[in-house]
Amino acid sequence: MSDFKIMHELESVPETLQNCVLAIGNFDGCHLGHQRIFSSALDVAKAHNRPALVLSFEPHPRDIFAPKPFMFRLTDGQQKAQIVKALGFDGIIIMPFDRDLATMEAQDFVQQYFIDALNVRAICVGEDFHFGKERKGTPEFLAHSGSKHGFEVHQLNLLVQGQETISSSRIRKCLSEGGLNVANRLLNYHWIVEGIVIEGDKRGRELGYPTANFTLPENSNLAQGVYAVRLKLGSRLFDGVASFGKPMFNNSQPPFEVHIFDFDEDIYGQNIEVALIEHIRGQMIFDNLDELIVQMDKDSKKARGILSNIKPISALDANRGIII
């Protein structure tokens, strides 16, 4: 219907994207449960020939009321935008979340957001979605508001896999415990970390394994260890093996270090996106550097084998442009 748009305030929503079908939630990770909501919104929009939008919030609401940000985030606002664009939405509104928004009365939220700014035709939410002061904006309240103001409300049940609800917190737990394969299945795509390449201690180069280093957010709780990865640098794709954590050296705030196979270029200052394919092993401490190099050789060989057979988990995974 239109070029994909990323918006950060209600006033920036063009008229062509009003009268829309709206999926609303925090959507950290945009996982399989969220994708059920997205699919519903896209189906309704297609049936009624309406634009499809996502409304999300940054920073995470829980971080607003904490002394400092603490949430292990699966996706930031830009990553959410990439995902919903790949799914086929026309745009995303990433609203700044603050204490004023948190204390807005639910009925005022409906009037200002859904009626005045967007003139929504339908809203799709999860059954656990709440909004407004004291979380009084329940799905039941939203359904009543829809009847009053003339928009549909589609409430989606939580998605269960393996007798446990698919949730962002479940995925965070998997990632923090080395359960990458399970996390990727629940996300329905290979989880991606990214950053600007910085200078490291160059110890990897001395060992025959030069690395591209970048920092993860301070509140990341990703399990330390060695990963098979595929990365995107500009428009180019490369395979590699990554290490997170330096137990034999300074392990406070370690960088994420990627050894890119068959690559020798200066890429300092460039952004790289790294898809985590498999957690090969946890971190180990060796008696000497020779033992470390032998293990690095084994890790690289194993990573190459894993990556030689990698396929996208889903159409979304392929559309993100790293696992193709």
SS3 318: helix
Q: What is the pLDDT of residue 249?
A: 58
Q: How far apart are CA 120 and CA 280, in angstroms?
A: 47
Residues 108 and 232 in one domain: no
pLDDT in tens, 135-164: 888 888 999 999 999 999 999 998 988 889
Say if residue 125's pLDDT is above 90: yes
Number of domains in the chain: 2
289 lies in a domain? Answer: yes
Q: How far apart are CA 55 and CA 50, in angstroms?
A: 16
Residues 145 and 221 in one domain: no
Q: How far apart are CA 10 and CA 8, in angstroms?
A: 7
Neighbours of 33 (CB within 10 A): 27
pLDDT in tens, 237-296: 999 999 998 655 555 668 999 999 999 999 999 999 999 999 999 998 888 888 989 999
Residues 143 and 203 in one domain: no
Q: How many residues does the chain have?
A: 324
Buried/exposed code over 88-113 (b: 16+ C-beta within 10 A; e: otherwise): bbbbbbbbebeeebbebebeebbeeb
Cβ-contact 2, 95 below 8 angstroms: no
Cβ-contact 121, 19 below 8 angstroms: yes
Q: In sequence order, what E strands does the chain have?
A: 5-7, 21-24, 52-58, 91-96, 122-126, 152-156, 160-161, 164-165, 192-196, 212-214, 225-233, 236-244, 256-260, 271-281
Cα-Cα-Cα-Cα torsion 179, 180, 185, 186, nearest 10 degrees, comes to 70
Q: How confident is the model at residue 183 (pLDDT cuts 50, 70, 90)?
A: very high
pTM, entire model: 0.92
Q: How confident is the model at residue 69 (pLDDT cuts 50, 70, 90)?
A: low
175 lies in a domain? Answer: no
59 lies in a domain? Answer: yes
**What Å distances lie between residue 318 and 32, 61, 185, CA to CA?**
15, 30, 14
Give the range among 12-21, 94-103, 176-185 with minimum mean pLDDT.
94-103
Residues 136 and 225 in one domain: no
178 lies in a domain? Answer: no
CATH label of the domain that carries residue 15: 3.40.50.620
Cβ-contact 35, 168 below 8 angstroms: no
CATH label of the domain that carries residue 233: 2.40.30.30
* Among 242, 126, 136, 135, residue whose Cα is nearest residue 180: 242
Query: Which pair of tokens denotes residue 98?
Result: 């603050």
Q: What is the pLDDT of residue 75?
A: 96
Percent of the chain with pLDDT over 70: 95
Dihedral sign (CA 145, 147, 150, 153): positive
Residues 97 and 223 in one domain: no
Q: Which domain holds residue 85?
A: 5-161
- Mean pLDDT across the chain: 92
Domain limit, last residue, from 161, 179, 205: 161
Say if residue 203's pLDDT is above 90: no
Say if residue 202's pLDDT is above 80: no
Q: What is the pLDDT of residue 132?
A: 86
* Among 105, 141, 100, 136, residue whose Cα is nearest residue 123: 141
When pLDDT is averaged across residues 199-210 and rounded to a whole number, the result is 75
Sheet holding 152-156, edge to edge: 5-7, 91-96, 52-58, 21-24, 122-126, 152-156
Q: What is the pLDDT of residue 266?
A: 92
Q: How confident is the model at residue 1 (pLDDT cuts 50, 70, 90)?
A: very low
When pLDDT is averaged across residues 62-70 and rounded to a whole number, the result is 74
Residues 22 and 155 in one domain: yes
228 lies in a domain? Answer: yes
